[in-house]
Amino acid sequence: MSDPDITITNITAGDIAEFRTLLGKLGDGDITAIRVLVDDTDYIARLADNPELRWIARDTAGTIVGYATVNRLPGWSDHVGELRLVVDPDVRGSGLGRKLVQHSLRAAVDAGLRKVVVELTTESDAVVELFTDLGFTGEALLRDHIRDHNGALHDILMLAHHVDTNWENLETVGIVDALA
């Protein structure tokens, strides 16, 4: 996916060092929420081992400003993918997160996933609004579910995008073709 401002491509091994730079810009709350092991060099390097559902976004200067992944759940839930999103704090509010989520949803559908979930801390109304605007609905509220690096407990909101229902509605009003 490309536009004049952003290019979205699969992540490669050559992107890993710069990706670590992006992760270094994130605050403690961001790191807790995205569940990327930012201090584990081997884990970060392995992100490029299966780039099918992992993307980076680059700005016009070629700098990585975003990352998204859809991780297929195992076993009986292999029709479900968990979406994770990272947006550079310097470009939040620019629409980049929306572009990455839209790209991720299209790819998830193409990969045969029927449901995409995202777990968010309840502290960010703007992020919750982004996902609900894109057809995600509430599935669960998990109280005191995660602990940040300072030991504080946070609630998690699980939102889900049910592909069959949402895409059927989009097809009805002729939007699916515009998303492709």
**Domain assignments of the chain as residue spans, ordered by start:** 7-179
pTM as predicted? 0.84
SS3 29: helix
CA-to-CA separations, 115 to 36, 56, 85, in angstroms, rounded: 22, 22, 16
The architecture of the domain spanning 7-179 is 3-Layer(aba) Sandwich (3.40)
121: which 2 tokens? 């801390």
Per-residue pLDDT 10s for the chain (180 aa) are: 445 589 999 988 888 888 888 888 887 767 655 666 666 677 777 777 776 788 999 999 999 999 999 999 999 999 999 999 999 999 998 999 999 999 999 999 999 999 999 998 888 888 899 999 999 999 999 999 888 778 888 888 999 999 887 765 555 334 455 455
- Angstrom distance (rounded) from CA 166 to CA 168: 5
* Beta bridge partner(s), residue 158: 119, 140
